[in-house]
Structure 1
Amino acid sequence: MDSVAGKPARERAQLFETSAGQHAPRIDAVIIEKDFWVCWALHRLFDVLQFRPQLIFKGGTSLSKVFNAIERFSEDVDLSLSRRDLGFTNERDPEQANISKQEAKRRIEALVAACQQSVRDKLLPELRQDFATVLGNAGWSLEIDADDPQTLIFAYPRSGLADSAPYIRPAIRLEMGARSDDWPSVDAEIKPYAAEDFPAMFSQPTCRARTLTAERTFWEKATLLHAEYHRPPDKPANERISRHYYDLHCLARNEIAQRALGRADLLERVVQHKRCFFSRAWANYHTATPGTFKLVPPEARIETLRKDYDAMKQMIFGDAPAWDDIMAEIRRIEDRINKR
């Protein structure tokens, strides 16, 4: 991948445009470009800098790039730092048995602060130095997000393609954190779309990353939607929340869902973890269990979610499923969970 990253902007643009012209399903060149830089950043993190023991790759981008389970372009790279490597085990572990909620909260706050410090003092300078060995010192930047000290913004070298596609920002969010769980995981291969179409152009067309399993991500998304069902009317949902319904709809039509449904231990682990690290009284995680699981959103929120979905359709490859079809699949998977 480094050989492509170091090419002149015009040559990169030509590669991405040619790849877009023959890729199936059809993908815009600007997405082919951003996908390349997502994979390149993962390559530098996991293959070159050897952060594999400390980091895990997860979220929607992993469902797309590793498991081919969704046909949605996910612009952000969702990563998690190991709590163990940050020193939060035993008497510092927020999940330690028989500690009060107040003590767990104090430990979580300390964990977040330690993560922010690690991103600022270790990851940022090491990545800057490493990226410069391939990209030089001009035409790109790597900065801490002003709104989230755990996130790095990689403004990758521009080829001019993004100038005609304002809906794609020429920057990648490397979203770190340390509250997530890293079990179970697999060592997985990741390949840019351009390398699928033109492997001969790449001296190293793939990278490997320690990745949260798709079955775990299924339950992460399902419990998120369970919490969304219980969200109070006076607490507006985040933008682009509809993507999680789309993702779960895709997983439900995949053998991933069948495997996940057979893992009651995974569901229990996810619920226990969220009740500790992402506690909200209104989320009702204690009812995220077969018989009382909720996925279908309340009727009052359907139209808002439909509009949110319409706004993100351009990130779906090929023909995007109709919102009503997504809801029908969500109802079916909710029934399957509750009948187990």
Structure 2
Amino acid sequence: MDDVARLSVIDRTDLFSASARRRGLTAAIIEKDFWVCWTLKRLFTLPNPPAGLLFKGGTSLSKVFGVIDRLSEDVDLSFNRAELGFSGESDPLNALTGKKRKHGFEAWTETCQRVIREKLQPQLVEVFADALGEPPATTWGVELAEDDPNGQTLLFRYPADNQSRPADEPAYIRPAVRLEIGARSDHWPAVAGMVISDAAADFPAVFKEPGCMVYALAAEQIFWEKATVLPTWFHAPADKKFRDRQSRHYYDVVRLYEHELGQAAIRDTDLLLKVARHKEVFFPAAWARYADARPGTLRTVPPDARQPEMEQDYRKMQEMIFGEPPRFERLLEVLREIENAINIQSSGMRVSD
């Protein structure tokens, strides 16, 4: 991929434009997809990577597993808490009291910030410079995101053809890869997988190294992590505003369910219980009712009162979905099917009927 990264902006734009024409997308989307994949290659070939990096989230569903057809502008990464020095009772998951758990959260958050600031960011700057040349001549940079108060997000501003970009360009395709890093995630089950950019898939002869291997959270785990987001909105107080782009989780769960990986996940209810327990510890909210995230009581269908705002949010995010997105009514239909498929394993009754 480095050979393409080193091309002139004009030559890269020609390549991305040709790929975009094949796919019916914009060149900016193909460009961003390339730099996401290039960044992943650099992350997972670091000579001394910090704290066991793991790739997860929606972008992994698209690039590693090929399950979803939407652009994710960010890269979700997780450090291994044990490799950060938090294992046994110092891991919040194993803390015996709320006070110890709170102390554990604070300690590993500070450690994450320090590792990102003092190790990962300098490493990326060094390896990016080896491949791209020193900025500012090549117009790239790696910096802490100002909008993350926790100091756990890096922005890679990649060299782009800014002259041809419209002023009203959507934020999700602006020329920056967002690396969101934390240590809350479970690191098992996980798999090794290949990542290939759309441009490399379309024109493999142009690339000496069209793909790269990454270490990613298993799709079955991601299915349950997303599926347990859905009931939090079912149980949320009526005055809690539906957050922007939350409908992506509903879309992702539906697409996963329609894939063999999702069908395998549905049968693994022990994994569901493990994910629910993990969320009780790391994402506590009284109204989330993670104790009900189990066969017999799991809710994936949004309540009637939530559906108008969810539909509005879904319409807004459709520009990120490639091809013809499922109708909102179809999403609800499959979500009911998912809810029944999960809950019937416990009660033998269809809770949505």
Q: TM-score range by the shorter chain?
A: over 0.9
Cα separation, 1, equivalents of 2:336 and 2:235: 16
Correspondence for 2:8: 8
Cα separation, 2, equivalents of 1:154 and 1:11: 21
Cα separation, 2, equivalents of 1:160 and 1:34: 13
Aligned with 1:155 (options 157, 166, 178): 157
After TM superposition, the structure 1 = structure 2 runs for residues 63-78 of structure 1, keeping only pairs within 5 Å, are: 63-78=61-76
User: Where do 5+ consecutive residues of structure 2 fail to align?
Assistant: 346-353
- Note if contact 2:61-2:68 (Cα within 8 Å) is conserved in structure 1: yes
Aligned residues: 337
Cα 1:215–1:161 change in 2 (3 A) is farther
Cα separation, 2, equivalents of 1:15 and 1:70: 24
The one-letter code of the counterpart of 2:327 is: A
Root-mean-square deviation (CA, aligned residues, Å) is 1.4
- Note if contact 2:242-2:310 (Cα within 8 Å) is conserved in structure 1: no
SS class of match (1:95): helix
- After TM superposition, the structure 1 stretch with the greater mean CA deviation from structure 2, 72-81 or 87-96, is 87-96
SS class of match (1:79): strand
The one-letter code of the counterpart of 1:339 is: I
Cα separation, 2, equivalents of 1:238 and 1:129: 37
Q: Does 1:131 align with 2:128?
A: yes
- Note if contact 1:225-1:294 (Cα within 8 Å) is conserved in structure 2: yes
The one-letter code of the counterpart of 1:44 is: R
- Note if contact 2:69-2:321 (Cα within 8 Å) is conserved in structure 1: yes
Q: Does 1:196 align with 2:193?
A: no
The one-letter code of the counterpart of 1:166 is: E
Aligned with 1:86 (options 66, 80, 84): 84
The one-letter code of the counterpart of 2:73 is: E
Cα separation, 2, equivalents of 1:199 and 1:310: 34
Cα 1:181–1:163 change in 2 (3 A) is same
Cα separation, 1, equivalents of 2:163 and 2:15: 11
Q: Could you tell me the percent identity over the aligned residues?
A: 47
Q: Does 1:238 align with 2:238?
A: no
Q: Does 1:184 align with 2:182?
A: no
Correspondence for 2:20: 20
Shift of residue 235, structure 1, vs aligned partner = 2.4
SS class of match (2:153): strand
Correspondence for 1:166: 169
Cα separation, 1, equivalents of 2:299 and 2:48: 40
- After TM superposition, the structure 1 stretch with the greater mean CA deviation from structure 2, 119-128 or 102-111, is 102-111
The one-letter code of the counterpart of 1:45 is: L
Higher relative contact order (CA 8 A, sep 6+): 1
Shift of residue 182, structure 1, vs aligned partner = 0.8
User: Where do 5+ consecutive residues of structure 1 fail to align?
Assistant: none
The one-letter code of the counterpart of 2:57 is: G
Cα separation, 2, equivalents of 1:170 and 1:276: 36
Correspondence for 1:271: 276
Shift of residue 51, structure 1, vs aligned partner = 2.8
SS class of match (2:93): coil
Q: Does 1:31 align with 2:29?
A: yes
TM-score (normalizing by structure 1): 0.96
Shift of residue 42, structure 1, vs aligned partner = 0.3
SS class of match (2:250): helix
Correspondence for 1:227: 232
Cα 1:50–1:19 change in 2 (3 A) is farther
